[in-house]
Amino acid sequence: MSLPTTPGSPPGAKESGTLQTYFQALGQFAYDKAKELMDKEKEIHKATFGSSWGLMVHTLSQFATAEKTYNSLGFLEQKWFGRPKDTLRNSYLVLLQELRRMEEAVRQQDSVAMGMPGPGADFEILLSHLCGQLCEYIRARQKTMDFYEQISLMGTNKNMNYQDLVEVIAEIIHVHSRNFHHPILASLKSGFTSECDIVSHLLQAQLLMAEGQFLPSLLQLHQAHSKLTSWGAASQARETVKKGMFGSTTKTLSSLPALYSWLLRYKCLLVAKFSLYFYDVLSKQTTSVDMKGLSAKNCEDYVAKVTAFQKKSDASHVCLVLDTQGLESPYRGPGYTHPDRQGDTPKGLDSYPTIFSFPGEQPVGHWPNVVMLISDRQADTDRVQFVYDKAVQSTYFITSIEPRIYLVVIYETKKSEKDSYVNSFMLELSSLLRCIKHFAGLKPGSRVGGSRK
């Protein structure tokens, strides 16, 4: 399987440069450009299609199409007539077979040559290495496809286990991140690593926020933000990426692949959630007017939602309550606490602090009732619990957002258990804060929510 040569240059030099350009284009989300480059090579080497290079060019043209489909989340399309569309999975399987075949063919050729390598043989060996490592890359892609499928399915279930997802993506990173390391594949590896790291940081931020951990969750968000910015800057659409962490998503998302846009919005949703969970801590660093303005710039202004609901429904208080009992790291209060600072672990009523309360601070007079309701409540995130206390003539609505965080609405009057406005608000806010719609919205055409905007 001989290679075409160019006078005045070593055999394979031009082709190696073409490979560099091709994989750099993939790293910039320029899938059409990469495919066009390989299609031109196919026309040039049509007469030598049976050569290693001719076969490689044909395979890489298909590979660019597969990568474009992957990053557009096309593999998660809805089922039609009860059957899933597995076009991308089949495409990757075909590519895997072709790459294995080429790798084996070159190995056999080398064994025949038996110690008589030359410049052309060196390039054949390079193609063999690339084929082997691209096979590993495709296996990694198959794992991340399964991972996103798992996320989209979990998005339809309100009892999401984010810890399981963190462990799955950590295993993918551990097993696959070192299996395609050739310098020519650097852009491809960088994109894969960025994608997996960003997902991991975001999921860990969500877990840490659910335990009221201010600094650790902030650091995870910052890591995700930095890597999203770096990944976006490497693309041809880098001018669309906003630099501010606490700001809107992008100027235009349409020029970025759907997967990147989904990750970017996920980060923005978590920033908005962080702004609510740690509102009191953040508000101490600025004026109330500036804090309100910063919240309004988030993709979801949860504080405004709570404020509007409280005023319209005339609720006495709307509170987010953290159950600190049994936390692995002792709760030292909201915000940053120096690791060497000693403090007593909260007990009794103090072990259920409010992390957000509107209007005003925690309603102390109602707190024994609130804590009793949380303590007696079973793990059920699918409904809103209602209690009317005749002794204090107050009504309590409660639902869980996270395993340790509860949304409580208090009225100092008797309310109907079936009050649709109250129930709808609480369920909607809980769903938004758990990012359920965003997770389920991975599937194109999903009716759960428009998170793919």
Domain coordinates in residue numbering, the chain: 1-154, 300-438
Residue 84 phi, psi dihedral angles, 5° rounding: -75, 150
pLDDT digits (tens, 9 = 90+) for 315-371: 999 999 999 888 777 676 676 766 666 666 667 788 899 999 999 889 999 999 999
The structure tokens listed for 347 are 């007990």
- Amino acid code (one letter) for 282: L
| CB-based burial label for 146 (10 Å; 0-12, 13-18, 19+) | middle
Residue pLDDT, tens place only, 257-301 = 999 999 999 999 999 999 999 998 898 888 888 888 888 999 999
**Cβ atoms of residues 431 and 251 within 8 Å:** no
Residue 235 clears pLDDT 60, i.e. is over it: yes
Give the CATH number of domain 300-438; options: 3.40.190.10, 3.30.450.240, 3.40.190.80, 2.60.40.10.
Answer: 3.30.450.240
Mean pLDDT of 91-102: 94
**Alpha-carbon torsion (416, 421, 422, 424), positive or negative:** positive
- Per-residue confidence (pLDDT) for residue 155, from 0 to 100: 66
295-314 per-residue burial string, b: 16 or more CB within 10 A, e: under 16: beebbbbbbebbbebbeeee
Residue 447 is predicted with a pLDDT of 44
Backbone angles phi, psi at 83, to 5 degrees: -120, 135
SS3 (DSSP) at 12: coil
Distance CA 395, CA 417 (A): 9
Nearest to 158 by CA among 449, 6, 383: 383
Percent of the chain with pLDDT over 90: 56
The more confidently predicted of residues 171 and 348 is 171
The secondary element (H helix, E strand) that includes residue 24 is: helix 13-27
List the helix and strand counts (H, then E) for the chain: 15, 5
pLDDT at 341: 65
Q: Looking at residue 250, what DSSP letter applies?
A: B
Amino acid of residue 280: D
The angle formed by the CA atoms of residues 82, 86 and 90, to the nearest 5 degrees, is 150
Quote the DSSP letter at residue 340.
T
The H or E element containing residue 355 is: strand 354-358
